[in-house]
């Protein structure tokens, strides 16, 4: 099991290395590579896949949301080690697709690593993480219905990625921003559905 990554660039490097080493990359491969305590990194990886062009595959945003929910529930319960059922761990994408997703998100990763780092770290531990997990669960629940609308899952997925990044790099200021993004994502979701009604 690898040491946990502490930047988005390191997370992408890990996934790219997996993709170069095999034909398909499974969720289990990613979990093992990121470390069993890699709650934050997984909350970055799944939304980034959804936000990339790969996320336009029908059903993929909902699948990502289901995995995110499993991760967030365990965070909310205070588990120290991540557990995923076998059928989730065996979910996979082609290595070429994984490399494409990594390539498309490199610029965003560089931006995030440059500007987000350990400010107000107290807000990224203990009860604050559990509160963040509840927010992630709510956002993940919003993804399946929003998948019916073009690009609508981007808003909740960005908020989830912000929570994951805040936890990974221990940036409490970003945790505050993620909370604001979550509120905005919910407002956007409600607005989109109201407009479609």
For 108-158, the pLDDT digits (tens) are 778 777 777 767 777 777 788 888 898 899 889 888 877 777 777 788 888
**Number of alpha carbons in the 13 Å side-chain half-sphere of residue 148:** 7
Domain assignment of residue 89, yes or no: yes
Domain assignment of residue 2, yes or no: no
Domain assignment of residue 49, yes or no: yes
Domain assignment of residue 14, yes or no: yes
Q: Tell me how far the alpha carbon of residue 99 is from its chain's centroid.
A: 17
**What's this model's pTM, rounded to 2 decimal places?**
0.74
Domain assignment of residue 3, yes or no: no
Domain assignment of residue 150, yes or no: yes
d(CA 32, CA 53) in angstroms, rounded, equals 25
């Amino acid at each position: 099991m690898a040491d946990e990554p502490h930047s988005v660039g390191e997370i992408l490097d890990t996934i790219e290395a997996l993709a170069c080493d095999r034909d398909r990359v499974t969720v289990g491969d990613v979990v093992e590579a990121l470390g069993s305590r890699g709650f934050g990194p997984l909350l970055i990886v799944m939304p980034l896949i959804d936000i990339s062009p790969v996320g336009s595959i029908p059903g993929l945003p909902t699948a990502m949301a289901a995995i995110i929910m499993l991760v967030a529930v365990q965070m909310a319960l205070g588990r120290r080690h991540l557990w995923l059922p076998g059928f989730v761990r065996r979910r996979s994408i082609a290595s070429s697709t994984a490399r494409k997703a990594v390539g498309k998100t490199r610029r965003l990763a560089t931006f995030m690593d440059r500007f987000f780092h350990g400010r107000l770290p107290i807000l990224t531990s203990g009860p604050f993480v559990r509160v963040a997990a509840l927010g992630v669960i709510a956002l993940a629940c919003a993804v399946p219905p929003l998948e019916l609308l073009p690009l609508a899952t981007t808003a909740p997925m960005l908020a989830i990625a912000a929570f994951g990044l805040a936890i990974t790099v221990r940036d409490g200021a970003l945790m505050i921003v993620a909370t604001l993004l979550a509120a905005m994502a919910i407002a956007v979701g409600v607005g989109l559905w109201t407009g479609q009604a």
